Structure 1
């Protein structure tokens, strides 16, 4: 009899333990789900890129610079529903950003543009890194979205600045002055007459 009672009590204890574990697991799952929901909502709210050219010059480049057009197109396509969708989109944006180093239009293939593209790529890669962490720092991701927008504005304004400067007419004589400063255009002095060595034998005293 005592054996049956002990067995029954053990069964009740095990059953209660299992129920407690299930409740604990359920509570942890709910907590994790709420945490993921907060992360998703934060990123979803802050994922707002400047996906349209801010001036006429950058708008013109959308049609002629394929890599630039593809990048703007990619950031304009906002993910939906899951954090996984944002992670996939971030990876694609990072790839498109790297491609901006290719086929840069001749007028923009200058250090001022290249340096801004480099900074833009760095911030896109940082965003992609953070959003793929196991514990996603949502605030850092959205902060980097804002930083990327700043770099986009800076890049487009620099593009505009280059075009505006190229349209300013040079003053009379400026072109010739610039050519003179260009040492690669210097004409070698080919007319110099070599100095011939004089025959000094006649001046030497003769020894009798």
Structure 2
């Protein structure tokens, strides 16, 4: 009889302890969900990218550049207030920035422009990485958004500068001089046979 009573008490004890664990787990999950929602709200309030306003000359370079227009459209669309929306948006921005980098038109295909855009792409990749961590470092994400705005300003000024430089006419003989400086065109010396 004592054995049956002990068994019943032990069963009740296990049953109630399991319910306490489930309740504690549920409370912990609710806290994590609330924390992620708070992080998403703070990121949402900081998720503002500056617009790139180009000079009319630079705009002429980007008129036929479809990837640039798609990148700008994607950049200025703000995701909803959920963390998964920010994860999808960061992935899409990384993809669009990579497409822009791969399709830079000839006039803008200069090391100074390509380098600036590579830095911008790396910042988008960093945001994508941070947003996919289990513990999101929101201060780093918000800091990267500010840095991206600075990079966009740098890209804008570089595009305007390249457009301005393109308008400067070449001086007489400058094209010949540039060709002479090209080391790939150097004449190779052919040794003479000393027979």
User: TM > 0.5 between the two?
Assistant: yes
- Aligned partners of 1:103 and 1:96: how far apart in 2? 11
How far the C-alpha of 1:180 sits from its partner, in A, is 6.0
Within-5 A mapping of 1:154-169: 154-168=154-168
- Aligned partners of 2:42 and 2:61: how far apart in 1? 33
Unpaired stretches in structure 1, ≥5 consecutive residues: 186-208
**Taking structure 1 as the reference length, what is the TM-score of the superposition?**
0.75
Partner of 1:79: 79
Q: Deviations over 1:29-55 (max 9, x none)?
A: 1221122112211221221112x3223
How far the C-alpha of 1:2 sits from its partner, in A, is 3.1
- Aligned partners of 2:122 and 2:164: how far apart in 1? 28
Structure showing greater relative contact order (alpha-carbon pairs closer than 8 Å, 6 or more residues apart): 2
Runs of 4+ in 1 over 6 A off after TM superposition: none
Partner of 2:104: 104
- Aligned partners of 1:109 and 1:85: how far apart in 2? 33
Q: Conserved in 2, the CA contact under 8 Å of 1:61 and 1:68? A: no
Partner of 2:53: 54
After superposition, the Cα gap between the structure-2 partners of 1:183 and 1:5, relative to the gap in structure 1 and judged at 3 Å, is closer
- Aligned partners of 1:148 and 1:84: how far apart in 2? 21
Q: Secondary structure at the match of 1:78?
A: coil
Q: Conserved in 1, the CA contact under 8 Å of 2:41 and 2:81? A: no
Aligned length, in residue pairs: 180
How far the C-alpha of 1:116 sits from its partner, in A, is 1.0
Q: Deviations over 1:65-112 (max 9, x none)?
A: 111111111111221142111111111111111111233233212121
After superposition, the Cα gap between the structure-2 partners of 1:23 and 1:179, relative to the gap in structure 1 and judged at 3 Å, is closer
- Aligned partners of 2:86 and 2:132: how far apart in 1? 9
Partner of 2:39: 39
After superposition, the Cα gap between the structure-2 partners of 1:68 and 1:4, relative to the gap in structure 1 and judged at 3 Å, is same
Partner of 1:191: none
Partner of 1:184: 180
- Aligned partners of 2:71 and 2:93: how far apart in 1? 7
Once the two structures are overlaid, the 10-residue window that deviates more, 54-63 or 76-85, is 54-63
Partner of 2:147: 147
Unpaired stretches in structure 2, ≥5 consecutive residues: 182-195
The alignment status of 1:175 with 2:172, answered yes or no, reads yes
Partner of 2:28: 28
**Taking structure 2 as the reference length, what is the TM-score of the superposition?**
0.80
